[in-house]
Amino acid sequence: MDLEGKPNRILVLYASQTGNAMDVAERIGREAERCGCSYVEVLSMDSFDANCLPKEGIVIFVVSTTGQGDNPDPMKVFWRFLLQRHLGNNWLKGLQYAVFGLGDSGYQKYNFAAKKLDKRLIDLGAKPIIHRGLGDDQHRAGYEGILDPWLISLWKMLNGMNSAILPRISAIYDTNRTLEHPKYKVKYHSTGLNSDFPTSKDFNTCGKMIEMARLMSPLAQQIFGDNRPDHFLQMVKNERLTKADSSRDLRHFEFEFLTPGADYHVGDVLEILPTQNPVAVDAFIKRCNLDPNSYITVHHKENGRRPFISHADDFPNAINLRAFVALTMDVASASPRRYFFEVMSFFAAAVHEKERLQYFASSEGRDDLYQYNQKERRTVLEVLEDFPSVQMPFEWLVQLVPPLRTRAFSISSSPLAHPNQVHITVSVVSWISPYKRTRHGLCSTWLAGLDPRDSKEIYIPVWIHHGSLPPPAPMLPLILIGPGTGCAPFRAFIEERAVQKECSPIAPTLFFFGCRNQENDFIYKDFWLSHAQSPGVLSAENGGGFFVAFSRDQPTKMYVQHKMKEESARIWSLLSSGAAIYLAGSSTKMPADVTSTVEEIIAQESGSSKDSAARWLKLHERCGKFHIEAWS
């Protein structure tokens, strides 16, 4: 491979939905610099002009896959550009590239975004430096189990192509190297913005503070798009849907909009910024010897790479340090990355702690680190407490502590039925770690602990986005499949059709619901049964139907797929008349199993082969009549 005439640099483009791809891209950038590459640039894909791609010499792409094989948000515009028909098969002639994907083999379309990108780059004339790497969350060491050997091979290939690009490969693994400087600096100020969030009714100030904090946060700024909340909500109902003695805690939450302009559609998604436990926030600040009453701004240091776009200078006020930590740094629920341990090793005063941290950061200690950190889901605060001799500067903590993320929930209400309200259905997350520690989901546990009678001064910042389930027209026949909390968006669909039916005709709706047993987790039972009776949306009178599978109420497990097969003739009749299929729920086996069942029904009722049925369903999907929304 001839690299003459190309810039002596490496461009790393990443598309991250939750931050993993960005973390991998940053690691690739660090290792390339340690190898002696004279110029490395690490950019989010949505900040790069795809039209400039042919001018590049070497590009390393790092992309995650979301949902059911979907591209992450930062990749969508870039991908649409690459799909333009006028781009010929020599458009990228001269570009040499590598692709690393992040995915989960438990999903039906495992690493689909990376596979599509790799194929398209080849179609456009680009030459792969190395076969694509596919990180798998199911690997015993997480995605790094694939990433580590893939990177070693990549650096060797690049060095063999032109040793001037990467002259010092051994420097990656040099334990005697010095620590690079942090990329950000923290300035301290005497005064600044100090709202009483989340109890201030000055929503403009609260929104401004959240926006300012997220724009100043290096990780939050690069991952999240919208920074100022769309709305503030107040909880008005917190209802447990399962019995108190049930092992599962499923909740129905209702909120009222406190800010004007409430506007959403069925099928939309509500993103909530959770409030961290103030005790944990204070413990982190104390452990790191920080002054919670100080005011700060965070700025990028110029270091040869293009700085991230920061609008911090647009705000004349600094932000209270405690508020910044609480709003942007996930100190008590997220696990730190591997690089966190590497940086910690440079600040460890105790020899035994330094050695352990160096081992965790090495390739030899990768599996043990995974067991200690990710599998156990140790938090940043817990890790820091496990290594008491480490005192990391705040500049490094700002760069390395995982960002506080919003949590997304399918909306389970219709705005037509509940003006100025929005409802969600939530499973309160808890589990036992390998070392028998009880872990709790941050957002679901916080919401479950709010009492609407006592929490009237808690104002919840939210964003509303379109989900994977577009709102259906009233005369579109529907086949809805939503086991467990997958029923949430379909509660909204049925509420909406009930209101629409009062003014105009509606098409038939079939709904297939599943849960473990009728006694404990038949959630929204009265709602479904009332709409299944005449003249309800799901009633036979309206051509509809409600079918429920209780998987544990009989010796042989019964799932929604079995109920669908019992109604195969009705399903095929609706599909033949143009019905749309909507599927929501767990992202593991369920979507694949239900899709396979639909294909079997089509084959059986139409008299065609399974392959023909699969092609028919694919065409149905391309026509916008098969939608899946799944979550882990």
Residues tagged in the binding site annotation: 16-21, 64-67, 137, 377, 407-410, 441-444, 485, 551-552, 557-561, 593, 631
Closest CA to 468 of 104, 67, 107, 79: 67
Query: What is the Cα gyration radius of the chain?
Result: 26
- Which residues belong to the annotated binding site for FMN? 16-21, 64-67, 137
- Give dist(CA 25, CA 222) in Å, integer: 12
Q: Which two tokens stand for residue 255?
A: 């909120």
Closest CA to 500 of 465, 467, 530, 475: 475
- Give dist(CA 272, CA 211) in Å, integer: 14
**DSSP result, 284-329:** HHHHTT--TT-EEEEEEPPSSSPPP---GGG-SS-EEHHHHHHHHB
Which amino acid is present at 241? L
Q: What are phi and psi of 315, to 5 degrees?
A: -110, 115
What b/e readout covers 351-388, taking b as 16+ CB neighbours within 10 angstroms?
eebbebbbebbbeebbeebbebbbbbebbbbbbbeebe
- Give dist(CA 299, CA 187) in Å, integer: 8
- Which residues belong to the annotated binding site for FAD? 377, 407-410, 441-444, 631
Which amino acid is present at 367? D
Strand partners, 424: 253, 411
Collapsing DSSP to helix, strand or coil, 140 comes out as: coil
Q: Which residues contact 604 (CB under 8 A, 6 or more apart)?
A: 568
What b/e readout covers 229-267, taking b as 16+ CB neighbours within 10 angstroms?
bbbbbbbeebeebbeeeeebbbbbbbbebebeebebbbb
Q: Measured over all CA atoms, what is the biggest interatomic distance in the chain, rounded to whole angstroms?
A: 77
- Which residues belong to the annotated binding site for NADP(+)? 485, 551-552, 557-561, 593
Q: Which residues contact 454 (CB under 8 A, 6 or more apart)?
A: none
Closest CA to 409 of 507, 509, 489: 489
- Bridge pairing between strands 421-427 and 295-300: unpaired
Q: What are phi and psi of 282, to 5 degrees?
A: -65, -35
620: left (phi over 0), alpha (psi -120 to 50) or beta: alpha
Closest CA to 322 of 274, 379, 287, 284: 284
Are 591 and 560 in contact by the 8 Å Cβ rule? The answer is: no
Q: Which two tokens stand for residue 484?
A: 């467990």
Closest CA to 164 of 401, 44, 4, 11: 4
Q: Which two tokens stand for residue 304?
A: 């040869």
CA torsion sign for 48, 52, 53, 55 is negative
Question: For residue 338, what are the CA distances in angstroms to 12, 345, 417?
Answer: 19, 11, 48
Closest CA to 13 of 41, 37, 33: 41
Burial class (CB in 10 A: 0-12, 13-18, 19+), 139: middle
